[in-house]
Amino acid sequence: MSSPSATVVGAGVFGAWIAHALRHRGWNVTLVEQHGPANSRASSGGETRIIRSGYGSSAVYARWARESLPEWLELERRTSEQLFVKTGALFVGRAGQWLDDTERTLHNQDIRCERLQPQDLGARFPQLTFPGASGIFEPDAGVLFARRAVQRLVAALVKEGVTLITGRITGVSDPLVAGSDAVIFACGPWLPTLFPELLAEMIVPTKQEVYFFGAPAADTSYAPSKLPAWVAFDEGIYGLPDLEHRGVKIALDAHGTTADPESIDRAVSAEAIAAVREILKRRLPGLANGPLLESRVCQYENTPDGHFLLDRMPGHDRVWIAGGGSGHGFKHGPAVGRYVADLVEGATPEPAFQLAGRPARRRAVY
């Protein structure tokens, strides 16, 4: 009896790990990508992504992040190339429900964390200025080299027998997916364009900007050994230390304007840079006058509530959708791969990830 066949459309982080999970279960897998794995237009094409388990009260994302990290580290071992930097992750803000929920959930999931009072926060991380704020520090969290990791994963899959095709899929009846026992569309921000009647209101790509600023000469206080990845959700900002001497990353987590990944203007405006410098003055004052070394425009692909969309396509028994990373999906790639492979093999879906029953557009996951 021949092995079942699957075609995965999209070689970003979701598509690559879905292909990995199915291949390791004995499926014959074809991976179709129109611009190349983790290309610069894709949501997976950035330099770095935080991997952290702090998610407020959301136990499923805390668990998935914890379960995914060992698989990222195993990929690192197999490729003999650094894909993860253990920086720790600091969640900072005024004492409130989200920080309390994060601490409780991490403890319940047996994930190490530490509560930092305002005086402790300032003494521990003097580079950051958050007067009166407290924090939760997750020491085993860190940063993944995003583009590099996905591209190395896809290269490993090809060596394991996955067929990689460069091509553009036009829909469920496209000849490239004909004959497959399962077809999974993991196309990120292209999903609403590919299936507008179904997903135009369900997945909304937005323009997001990231910036890399240079530290003063001979100043090592922004190195990953001294500055963690940090997130201030109540202000909609986050940052990373100086990795590979590329500069200190800072970005806005608030959703930007709607965007098309094919036609989005990827230039950063002078007004946007000025706004980010105002944030630096308040929160990273040592970088306020630092040079802007790089900037980048990418996109989120947001669902109404921020939960992933991992479900069968209505009216198609052999077709699934995997998307809606909503700005936080990258770290969960291995867990998403397993979950979607389970769906394809007949598992019962989790209601939070289904297409039906989504609430009004109100972000619930950070």
Q: Domains, the chain, ranges and CATH? A: 1-86+141-202+303-366 (3.50.50.60), 87-140+204-302 (3.30.9.10)
| Residue 363: predicted pLDDT | 82
| pLDDT tens track, the chain, 366 positions | 689 999 999 999 999 999 999 999 999 999 999 999 999 999 999 999 999 999 999 999 999 999 999 999 999 999 999 999 999 999 999 878 999 999 999 999 999 999 999 999 999 999 999 999 999 999 999 999 999 999 999 999 999 999 999 999 999 999 999 999 999 999 999 999 999 999 999 999 999 999 999 999 999 999 999 999 999 988 999 999 999 999 999 999 989 999 999 999 999 989 999 999 999 999 999 999 999 999 999 999 999 999 999 999 999 999 999 999 999 999 999 999 999 999 999 999 999 999 998 867 778 888
| Residue 96: predicted pLDDT | 81
Kindly report the three-state secondary structure assignment for every residue of the chain: CCCCEEEEECCCHHHHHHHHHHHHCCCEEEEEECCCCCCCCCCCCCCEEEECCCCCCCHHHHHHHHHHHHHHHHHHHHHCCCCEECCCEEEEECCCHHHHHHHHHHHHCCCCCEEECHHHHHHHCCCCCCCCCEEEEECCCEEEEHHHHHHHHHHHHHHCCCEEEECCCCCCCCHHHCCCCEEEECCHHHHHHHCHHHHCCCCEEEEEEEEEECCCCCCCCCCCCCCCEEEECCCCEEEECCCCCCCEEEEECCCCCECCCCCCCCCCCHHHHHHHHHHHHHHCHHHCCCCEEEEEEEEEEECCCCCCEEEECCCCCCEEEEECCCCCCHHHHHHHHHHHHHHHCCCCCCHHHCCCCCCCCCCCCC
Please give the model's pTM, rounded to 2 decimal places.
Answer: 0.97
| Residue 354: predicted pLDDT | 96
| Residue 337: predicted pLDDT | 98
